[in-house]
Amino acid sequence: MNLEQEVLKIQERNKRVELDKSWETSWLRRICIMILTYIVVIVYSYLIRKYDNIFLTSLVPVIGFTLSTLSLKAVRKIWEKLSKK
């Protein structure tokens, strides 16, 4: 591999790393995680019928889960397409 190919390879890698970093810190990702977690916890709470106010108590795990590092692949692909424009 010559020097020019190496440089191009490094530049492509840098683009991927920048896109990964942008995705991890994007508000779209955070909001999707919060909404999905909230829905799951509401359904779970409803099924076990343990809580008096499931909508209020469901916010607690949402806040914790939002801090996680899970990725939403489908949403990310859409986000990547939109962010390239």
Q: Which of 29, 27, 18 is nearest to 69 (CA)?
A: 29
Q: For residue 77, what are the CA distances in angstroms to 27, 54, 56?
A: 15, 32, 32
- Return d(Cα 60, Cα 38) in angstroms, integer: 9
Q: Which of 18-22, 23-27, 69-73, 75-79 has the lowest mean pLDDT?
A: 69-73
Residue 77 pLDDT: 82
Q: Which helix (H) or strand (E) holds 3?
A: helix 3-24
- Relative orientation angle of helices 27-48 and 73-83, to the nearest 10 degrees: 160
What pTM value is reported for the model? 0.59
